């Protein structure tokens, strides 16, 4: 009975605070994390982290990452490679490398924990960025596709590095396996597109059935589990498997109407249950950074801010429809991916509670401040598009 009370309390408080943050114009997941922070040992101590909640968090993570994969496609990775790679470098790679080096040589922490913490703080999150891009209808323009593509590339790199760091003894095998898996992913994607007509006919029949949506929902979960299991077997985190499985599911093969129905089902179950639970449980294990950990947090935020200026200058050259400040504010947003990497690493014992807290507080502060850079002019312009 105790676990049920804890679960319902976390879910209820997380939903309420998350909605309040949404109404204030901030990402709801930040409210979810703060709900866990409040209920956990850091503040009121009503709920303590425990194995049962940890297991629920793992299930939630699977569904969250599967949804993130569903919201992107392989086409995003193959188009505008030159342009989005620049944002991947300035928005993720360079700040993460600089943070890691300072953590290792300036604060004298281990290489693995330093790299994971740096990556988790430095990684833009597709969950937040896709919401902002969709909110302002930016996918109508090349600018939006470039932003999404750079984020997807960053996320894939970050998950891959996490997999290698989690199993360093088989690092070369993991790298080779990742390359083969990516080749297989694009081969499967090409095969699906080649036979899209017949696959779409199957889904058209499913859409006419009363149970078609439920069966399709089940098939997607099974596909996600298969990919996740394969990745787990070769020593790579199952998170990346779920992400890649989701990427193979898109409207071109399911039909836009049925795809939207299934996608809405995933979004409802995630936004009303799995997302608030996962992030509130993540908040439970957080403590307030003190001493050198607080200094590390300040350094990390300063580095992200520094490279945001580089992203801004790059955006002035590349973005055609939006202002550079808007692109910088969107690319600089942090969220699910960073917290996911931190949670996986913390659960695996790769980082300490204090390092994990740097990730959580870094995510909170960056997610609250970076979207403020989105220009009022772009907001008004995109609002007209939305109203239209």
Q: What is the pLDDT of residue 387?
A: 36
Per-residue buried b or exposed e for 225-235, using 16+ beta carbons within 10 Å of the residue's own CB: bebbebbeebb
Q: What is the pLDDT of residue 270?
A: 86
Q: With pLDDT > 90 as the criterion, what percentage of the chain qualifies?
A: 22
Using one digit for the tens of pLDDT, what is the confidence trace for 68-112? 777 777 776 777 777 788 889 988 999 999 999 999 999 999 999
Average the pLDDT over 119-148 and give the result. 76
Residue 339 is part of a domain; what is its CATH number? Answer: 1.20.1530.20
With a cut of 90, say whether residue 162 has pLDDT above it: no
Average the pLDDT over 180-204 and give the result. 80
With a cut of 50, say whether residue 388 has pLDDT above it: no
Burial of 128 (0-12, 13-18, 19+ CB in 10 A): buried
> What values do phi and psi take at 61, rounded to 5?
-60, -40
With a cut of 90, say whether residue 216 has pLDDT above it: no
C-beta separation of 341 from 99 below 8 A: no
Q: For the chain, how many structural domains are there in total?
A: 1
Q: Which residue has the higher pLDDT, 321 or 314?
A: 314
With a cut of 80, say whether residue 136 has pLDDT above it: no
- CA-to-CA distance for 214 and 172, rounded, in angstroms? 40
Using one digit for the tens of pLDDT, what is the confidence trace for 8-23? 999 999 999 999 988 8
With a cut of 90, say whether residue 297 has pLDDT above it: yes
Q: Which residue has the higher pLDDT, 5 or 25?
A: 5
Q: With pLDDT > 70 as the criterion, what percentage of the chain qualifies?
A: 91
Structure pTM? 0.80
- Name the residue range of residue 90's domain: 2-387
Helix (H, G, I), strand (E, B) or coil at 43: coil
């Amino acid at each position: 009975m105790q676990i049920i009370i804890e679960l319902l309390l976390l879910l209820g408080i997380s939903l309420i605070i998350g909605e309040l943050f949404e109404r204030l114009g901030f990402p709801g997941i930040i409210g979810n994390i703060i709900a866990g922070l409040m209920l956990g040992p850091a503040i009121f101590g009503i709920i303590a982290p425990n194995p049962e909640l940890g297991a629920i968090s793992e299930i939630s993570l699977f569904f969250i990452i599967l949804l993130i994969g569903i919201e992107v496609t392989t086409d995003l990775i193959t188009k505008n490679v030159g342009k989005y790679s620049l944002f991947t470098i300035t928005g993720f790679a360079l700040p993460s490398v600089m943070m890691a080096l300072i953590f290792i040589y300036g604060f004298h922490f281990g290489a693995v924990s330093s790299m994971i913490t740096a990556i988790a703080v430095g990684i833009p999150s597709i969950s937040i960025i896709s919401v902002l891009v969709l909110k302002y209808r930016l996918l109508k323009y090349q600018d939006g596709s470039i932003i999404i593509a750079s984020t997807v590339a960053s996320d894939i790199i970050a998950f891959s590095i996490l997999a290698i760091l989690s199993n360093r003894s088989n690092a070369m095998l993991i790298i080779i396996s990742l390359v083969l898996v990516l080749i297989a992913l694009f081969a499967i994607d090409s095969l699906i597109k080649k036979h899209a007509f017949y696959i779409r006919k199957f889904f058209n029949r499913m859409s006419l059935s009363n149970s078609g949506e439920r069966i399709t929902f089940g098939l997607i979960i099974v596909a996600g589990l298969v990919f996740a299991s394969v990745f787990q077997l070769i020593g790579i985190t199952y998170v990346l498997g779920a992400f890649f499985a989701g990427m193979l599911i898109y409207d071109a093969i399911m039909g836009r109407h049925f795809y939207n129905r299934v996608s809405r089902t995933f979004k409802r179950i995630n936004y009303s249950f799995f997302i608030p639970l996962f992030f509130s449980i993540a908040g439970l294990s957080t403590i307030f950074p003190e001493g050198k950990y607080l200094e590390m947090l300040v350094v990390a935020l300063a580095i992200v801010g520094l490279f945001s200026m580089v992203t801004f200058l790059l955006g002035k050259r590349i973005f055609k429809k939006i202002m550079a400040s808007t692109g910088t504010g969107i690319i600089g947003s942090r969220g699910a991916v960073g917290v996911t990497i931190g949670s996986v690493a913390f659960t695996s014992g790769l980082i300490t509670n204090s390092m994990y807290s740097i990730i959580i507080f870094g995510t909170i502060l960056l997610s609250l401040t970076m979207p403020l850079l989105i220009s009022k002019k772009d907001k008004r312009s995109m609002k007209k598009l939305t109203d239209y």
